[in-house]
A and B are shown apart, each in its own frame.
Chain A
Amino acid sequence: MLSNLFQEELDIINVGLEGFGSDLNSQDFKVTQVDWRVPNISDETKLLLKQLSFLDEGE
């Protein structure tokens, strides 16, 4: 299955660090870059979000 995959034309999506995408790009693969970063949120905010989960009850 995997060997078949690499014989087809690949549509590659690279999420986050651009280096992985540019390496493939330099080998003539078509790469779509998704600008994504790990959210920069504090431990206090994480706790707040956990406490707010009561709002999702009843869904």
Chain B
Amino acid sequence: MGRKEANAKVMEIINGSEIQLIGMGIAKDVVPGMHKDLIMHAGPPIEWGRMCGPMRGAVIGALIYEGRAESEEAAVKLIESGTIKFEPNHEHQTVGPMAGVISPSMPVFIMKNMTYGNLTFSNINEGAGKALRFGSYGEDVVNRLHWIRDSMYPILKDAIALSGGIDIRTIVTQALQMGDDNHNRNKASTALFLRELSKYLVMIEQPKEEVYKVCEHLEKIDMFNVNLVMAMCKAISDAVMNANIEGSTIVTVMSRNGTDFGIKVSGTGNNWFTAPANIPDGLYFPGYSEKDAAPDIGDSCITETYGLGGFSLAAAPAIVQFIGGSYQDGVNITNEMYEITVAESSFLKIPNLDFKGSPVGIDIIKVLKTGIQPTITTGMAHKDPGVGQVGAGIVKAPMKCFEEAAKYMVENR
């Protein structure tokens, strides 16, 4: 099969995947391969010794949350004993934003690709600023994680179960037309999700005061839905990977662990192609500067891999301003991404480009031929453990990842 035919088959899967949120569960009960000593993380594989500050902070916080350690020192001692294992979320049908740390007793959303049957998972968004995913692990952070597990999770689980499944692809499609890039801005999609869920939230048998707090959490956290969008994209990604389409040059995964940026490519099996992660360029919260930022981190650029985020920036003028650009910058970035993709999305339509489908299907050949690197919108974490988010901006996927994938294809032809 030639490259164009192989890539067309990949696009059939990308455009044809219907995705629904079908439930929730505790990671150790539902995530394949999760066990009591496993901490999953964002990006390609990495060991403790090479982890960046925010990922180390998130791992420490997760061990305190799990009751495996009472302090930072105890957590580090446990890690250095070799008891704790680290594996990428992506190897467990899972994705998580920023540090992406998911431990055994954390609740996860369960997403299903209704067309191809595969399941994916993502954790619950805690909110902005001091949060585990940005490397914070203070008492307030751990307490909120416990509230999420003990109070929020049972309520969301019951409401989602009562709904019979929520069509996340339709929510993302509508949100794109309401100003979300669906990576760094999820204000519309979170509102649409809450609207969809509200009639079930009032029907479930749970304490009214706790349901109120859950609604308040969703109301205050504009980024709540990014985890669901990511799991949706992962459900498409895994369907493409499972199809194992030889000869395809389309990127199926982009992800970073704060040290390395990694990609996977459709025609190359389950291999990671990595390069050092770049530092994002953007706006910092008061009191912080580029000296404080950690390198690019998180599974969230799975959204760019499927035509959202930086690839749909033309649809999201508000987020362009938030990351320090102009409306035209957003249009220019989206237009540039058409140069490195093989198709326009059949369902993600950008209103201010006359409802043109967003650029989707990153082709490593096109990236190498044009020298254009995929553009990603992202949050920025402090480089040290325990501090949290310091800003938001844009970042480029390193060219070396695409070169390494190409070399692999040449050497394994």
Asked whether A59 and B3 contact (CB < 8 A) given A48-B403, A51-B410, the answer is yes
Shortest distance from the beta carbon of A56 to any chain B beta carbon, whole Å: 5
Q: How far does the alpha carbon of A44 sit from the alpha carbon of B399 in the complex, in Å?
A: 13
A52, B371: Cβ atoms closer than 8 Å: no
Q: How far does the alpha carbon of A44 sit from the alpha carbon of B413 in the complex, in Å?
A: 18
B3: chain A residues within 8 A (beta carbon): 55-56, 59
Residue B368 lies at the interface, judged by CB distance under 8 Å to chain A: yes
A39, B410: Cβ atoms closer than 8 Å: no
A39: chain B residues within 8 A (beta carbon): 369-371
Tell me the number of A-to-B contacts counted with CB atoms below 8 Å. Answer: 43
Q: Which B1-54 residues have C-beta < 8 A from chain A?
A: 1-5
- Residue-wise interface mask of B (350-373) relative to A, using a CB-CB cutoff of 8 A (1 in contact, 0 not): 000000000000000100111100
- Residue-wise interface mask of A (46-59) relative to B, using a CB-CB cutoff of 8 A (1 in contact, 0 not): 00110110111111
Residue A10 lies at the interface, judged by CB distance under 8 Å to chain B: no
Q: How far does the alpha carbon of A41 sit from the alpha carbon of B409 in the complex, in Å?
A: 19
Main secondary structure of the interface of B (DSSP, over half): helix
Q: How far does the alpha carbon of A55 sit from the alpha carbon of B369 in the complex, in Å?
A: 15
Q: How far does the alpha carbon of A44 sit from the alpha carbon of B3 in the complex, in Å?
A: 21
A49, B368: Cβ atoms closer than 8 Å: yes
Give how many B residues have a beta carbon under 8 Å from the other chain's beta carbons: 19
Q: Which A18-59 residues have C-beta < 8 A from chain B?
A: 39-41, 44-45, 48-49, 51-52, 54-59
B371, A48: Cβ atoms closer than 8 Å: no
B370, A48: Cβ atoms closer than 8 Å: no
A57, B370: Cβ atoms closer than 8 Å: no
B5, A48: Cβ atoms closer than 8 Å: no
A41, B247: Cβ atoms closer than 8 Å: no
A45, B4: Cβ atoms closer than 8 Å: no
Q: How far does the alpha carbon of A45 sit from the alpha carbon of B4 in the complex, in Å?
A: 20
Q: How far does the alpha carbon of A40 sit from the alpha carbon of B410 in the complex, in Å?
A: 22
Chain B's closest residue to A37 (CB) is B371
A41, B371: Cβ atoms closer than 8 Å: yes
B5, A59: Cβ atoms closer than 8 Å: yes
B249: chain A residues within 8 A (beta carbon): 52, 55
Q: How far does the alpha carbon of A41 sit from the alpha carbon of B365 in the complex, in Å?
A: 12
A45, B368: Cβ atoms closer than 8 Å: yes
Residue B406 lies at the interface, judged by CB distance under 8 Å to chain A: yes
Q: How far does the alpha carbon of A49 sit from the alpha carbon of B371 in the complex, in Å?
A: 12
Shortest distance from the beta carbon of B305 to any chain A beta carbon, whole Å: 20
A40: chain B residues within 8 A (beta carbon): 371
Asked whether A55 and B368 contact (CB < 8 A) given A45-B403, A48-B403, A48-B406, the answer is no
Q: How far does the alpha carbon of A56 sit from the alpha carbon of B406 in the complex, in Å?
A: 14
Cβ-closest 4 pairs across A and B: A59-B2, A55-B3, A58-B2, A51-B410
Show 13 A/B contacts (Cβ-Cβ < 8 Å), sorted by A. A41-B368, A41-B369, A45-B368, A48-B406, A48-B407, A49-B365, A52-B249, A52-B365, A55-B3, A55-B247, A56-B2, A56-B3, A58-B1
